Structure 1
């Protein structure tokens, strides 16, 4: 029982520290908006100005709304690339990939230049134990199988609510937080 109390206290302290750090850090990037190409409301994934890299050592929470108190819909690991929709407001930046939601811009840096972009529908499994493919976008959905870490998958769309539909190697849904851009 004592260990459980200590663990709960540790979680509260860590959460409070991360929340404080998230709210107090100012955005550390800028973009030339004249170079951005807009298609509908989203920036094209191939446009370098829409790419940012997570610089937070322990990863970055993706929130449903642009506030620190909003529900977290996933976590994006350190050094992973994200696609921003625009520069956002009050430090909160809307992202469209690999998870749709809002992140605090102070934990984003510029992406490194790539020689040739991979196909926009290509993602790579970034989970040590692989990822479960579900029949429906829910952990309650029937599991169709597992895709191994490092294996490439083909996404059908960017998905919603932290779930991405895939077509290869299995047709179903996977959690977006376990996918990285193909390298």
Structure 2
């Protein structure tokens, strides 16, 4: 399981006999160790190409690295519409308990205003901790991590519904389109599939 996204890494195996030792311990079929015949770094792979270009919303912070390693300049393209996001300063707490109490309070404030909330967590464990804290207060919510990956489309489709609370690892990170108001097409498709 990828510790950052919570996604299952199918086909990945530990090296130096560790995977085989765990297979023996768990009483499952012991498979031979993978053998790497060749490898290449991203930097050397990209240097193979004469022309390179790319686009991302986060390249500006790495502009010096792009210039030094690849000889590429980063050009910032301004937004078409004015940015509506409000940036606030960091909040620091003395204890984990205080931190999670503040997180739950913020979630409740949004929930009472019927504002959809996406809480991004760094691990499956933290997503489940926040879920447990919400359950103790009988707050309805969805969790999206490696343990619920088969429900990913449904959870993401409902994440923008007014009052929805979604706790997620990086599975619902970059590239995930959460539609405010909910994804009506996806909900209709899921309804039709479950009611033939």
**TM class by shorter-chain length?**
under 0.3
User: Which structure would you say has the larger Rg?
Assistant: 2
Q: Could you say which structure has the higher helix fraction?
A: 2
Q: Could you say which structure has the higher strand fraction?
A: 1
TM score, norm. by length of structure 1? 0.24
